[in-house]
Structure 1
């Protein structure tokens, strides 16, 4: 019966859970910093779009790493926080990418 509980013993997923939590919280922190720099770009005038692009890429990497670890190694995984971080990463890359393109186009004449 597919809905019956399995008789397999529950695996110890404490290492996977710890790695997933760290990746999720670092992704949320990088995403929050990236969103703050998008909202107030005067906080980092020199190299702002490039730092924002790096933060967006780091946010996406960590968020998807957390989701991969969570789906593979954590039994009762709920991926809402890592999904929020991934959405923030996409938004950061979108807005910072537009600004970086504008700067490169201005350099090209």
Structure 2
């Protein structure tokens, strides 16, 4: 699946809780400044397309955790996940690769 995004709010790696956060780098999630109109200068999409392959939820940029675990690319979006599951059987990354890129 290919996502074409021009703003952070369109990106499935963005988590819009109280403070918007970019999860492109799962180990170092970055806060998205409120004054950014499209994307911050450090956005990984400014360098090239971003591909997400088959992986566990703990290291997936689409995995969100607030009160409960959720997936931002599942159908329906933000589908809840059981706490004991390492990766749910319905995970779309089992059959697809996600590519996130800027519009041409």
* TM-score, L = length of structure 2: 0.21
* TM-score, L = length of structure 1: 0.20
Q: Is the strand fraction higher in 1 or 2?
A: 2
Q: Is the helix fraction higher in 1 or 2?
A: 1
